[in-house]
């Protein structure tokens, strides 16, 4: 006899604004939520950047094994993550999950950390999308400033954010589909022309020796981060207890398969390609291999697909940022107007507008200074978000154990104690590696870039103190009411 899932619950904030809105239930399903998570990772761009860095500067061909080991850690994390998802449904997923086991003060700290991280991700991807769109259109004779393309991306994310997750997921499905097709064509081409390049010895543990292993772990972790963001759409699904776990596992397995096979094909392709391609820099390997195996005609289409994949990431992170602002405002952490939704679309329209303003404000200094978003903007934000990701996932795993000890959740020993415990150890190790290789993660030695992690402390302090203030005010109001009675 199987037990029925716990009733659908939404975390109750201490102070709920009188005009707080409700997101549209049933607007997104398993496939849509998984696609939004995959779009945030931008698979083709990740193959051309993070995973290529691991191939050139890290453990080389053994990157395939590092991917599989990282997926194992994420499977440990997901086992506990989906248990919490049966008890808490909230668009501010991490904050609500942490609050369930560790208390609302900790949850509020994570809420602010996550909200800033997702907003910064939109800024980064909007700027970088403009840069790549400019690069794609320039050979066609259209030479415009990168920031004009970025402005178009900002406007597009805003429109899709207003229309809702259902429309945004359909757009990102097309974007992800184009990446899958192009990567699939490349894998088939390598198989047909150099099948002997697919060697099993790349899975040998001996390839993981040396300091390069730490660097590879960092970049592979960053490549898979955000697969779990499906939980942010829990309030917008018909049956979150089924949808969120299925979408989370679907996103993880799709990405694991895509990156494992894709990276293996790159390794095999390098073995059969001219020497100059194998010695190319990290950012040039994938484009050069595509040109060699699929023909030089793929150069322009590849540029467009990479640019569009980054646009898809901006769309996905915009939706995440607005949902975290909506949830945090509903809890009293931010301006209460951000918790309102459009009466017809039931989307967080005020949060959408706020997110657009944040992106524009952050991009303006780079436009005025004539700075390259790839050099100044992306590295700083990548560094903050790498540590933010470790903090959110590690704290959530600890929350699973704490909630189990306190009897707030039930589940198998593996899912509630063993798996989250192993995940926590993995994230602690990964956090140490990120700190140890921070300048390589950011590709910058600028002081202001390397001080960015202090924002984690500032955000956590604000969230915790703001919650304590709201809690004291709530208690004072209750006492005054009781005294008057």
Q: Which helix (H) or strand (E) holds 94?
A: helix 93-102
Whether residue 257 has pLDDT greater than 80: yes
Q: Is residue 436 part of a domain?
A: yes
Q: How many domains does the chain have?
A: 1
Q: Could you give the CA distance from residue 429 to residue 32 in angstroms, rounded to a whole number?
A: 32
pLDDT confidence band for 8 (50 / 70 / 90)? very low
* CB-based contact 64:338 (threshold 8 Å): no
Phi/psi for 30 (5° steps) reads -60, -50
Q: Is residue 21 part of a domain?
A: no
Q: Is residue 75 part of a domain?
A: yes
In 3D, which of 359, 329, 357, 393 has the Cα closest to residue 23? 329
Q: Is residue 437 part of a domain?
A: yes
Can you give the CATH number for the domain in which 476 is found? 1.20.1740.10
Domain carrying residue 271: 30-484
Residue 423: the pLDDT is 97
Q: Is residue 415 part of a domain?
A: yes
Q: What is the pLDDT of residues 132-147, one digit of tens each?
A: 899 889 888 888 999 9
Q: What is the pLDDT of residues 296-349, one digit of tens each?
A: 888 778 889 999 999 999 999 999 999 999 999 999 999 999 999 988 889 999
pLDDT confidence band for 40 (50 / 70 / 90)? very high
Taking residues 396-416, report their average pLDDT: 96
The whole-model pTM stands at 0.90
Q: Is residue 1 part of a domain?
A: no
Q: Is residue 16 part of a domain?
A: no
Phi/psi for 25 (5° steps) reads -75, 140
Residue 58: the pLDDT is 87
Residue 284: the pLDDT is 84
Mean of the per-residue pLDDT values of the chain: 89
Taking residues 99-112, report their average pLDDT: 96
Q: Is residue 18 part of a domain?
A: no
Whether residue 437 has pLDDT greater than 90: no
Whether residue 178 has pLDDT greater than 50: yes
* CB-based contact 144:137 (threshold 8 Å): yes
For residue 344, the 8-state DSSP code is T
């Amino acid at each position: 006899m199987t037990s029925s899932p716990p009733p659908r619950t939404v975390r109750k904030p201490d102070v709920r604004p009188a005009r707080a809105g409700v997101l549209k239930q049933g607007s997104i399903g398993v496939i849509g939520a998984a696609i939004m998570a995959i779009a945030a990772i931008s698979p083709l761009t990740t193959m051309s950047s993070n995973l290529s860095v691991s191939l050139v500067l890290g453990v080389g061909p053994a990157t395939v094994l590092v991917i599989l080991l990282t997926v194992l850690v994420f499977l440990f994390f997901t086992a506990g993550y989906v248990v919490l998802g049966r008890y808490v449904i909230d668009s501010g997923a991490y904050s609500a999950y942490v609050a369930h086991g560790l208390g609302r003060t900790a949850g509020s700290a994570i809420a602010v950390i996550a909200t800033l991280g997702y907003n910064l991700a939109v800024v980064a991807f909007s700027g970088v999308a403009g840069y790549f769109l400019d690069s794609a259109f320039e050979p066609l004779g259209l030479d415009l400033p990168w920031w004009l393309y970025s402005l178009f991306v900002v406007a597009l994310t805003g429109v899709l954010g207003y229309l809702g997750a259902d429309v945004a997921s359909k757009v990102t499905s097309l974007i992800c589909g184009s990446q899958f097709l192009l990567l699939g064509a490349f894998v088939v081409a390598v198989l047909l022309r150099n099948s002997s390049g697919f060697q099993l010895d790349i899975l040998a543990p001996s390839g993981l020796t040396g300091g390069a292993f730490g660097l590879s772990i960092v970049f592979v972790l960053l490549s898979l981060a955000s697969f779990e963001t499906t939980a942010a759409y829990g309030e917008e699904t018909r049956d979150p207890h089924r949808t969120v776990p299925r979408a989370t596992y679907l996103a993880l397995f799709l990405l694991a398969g895509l990156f494992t096979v894709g990276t293996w094909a790159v390794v095999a392709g390098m073995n059969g390609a001219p020497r100059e391609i194998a010695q190319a820099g990290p950012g040039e390997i994938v484009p050069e291999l595509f040109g060699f195996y699929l023909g030089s005609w793929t150069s322009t289409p590849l540029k467009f697909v990479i640019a569009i994949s980054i646009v898809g990431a901006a769309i996905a992170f915009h939706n995440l940022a607005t949902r975290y602002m909506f949830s945090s405002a509903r809890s009293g952490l931010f301006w209460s107007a951000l918790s309102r939704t459009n009466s017809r679309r039931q989307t967080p329209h005020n949060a959408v507008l706020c997110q657009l303003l944040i992106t524009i404000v952050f991009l303006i200094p780079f436009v005025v200074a004539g700075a390259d978003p790839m050099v100044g903007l992306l590295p700083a934000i990548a560094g903050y978000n790498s540590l933010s990701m470790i903090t959110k996932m590690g704290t959530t795993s600890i929350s699973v154990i704490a909630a189990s000890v306190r009897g707030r959740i039930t589940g198998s020993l593996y899912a509630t104690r063993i798996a989250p415990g192993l995940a926590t150890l993995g994230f602690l190790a990964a956090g140490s590696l990120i700190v140890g290789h921070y300048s390589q993660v950011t590709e910058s030695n600028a002081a202001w870039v390397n001080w960015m992690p202090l924002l984690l402390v500032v955000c956590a302090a604000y969230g915790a103190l703001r919650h304590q203030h709201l809690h004291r005010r709530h208690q004072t109001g209750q006492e005054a009411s009781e005294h008057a009675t």
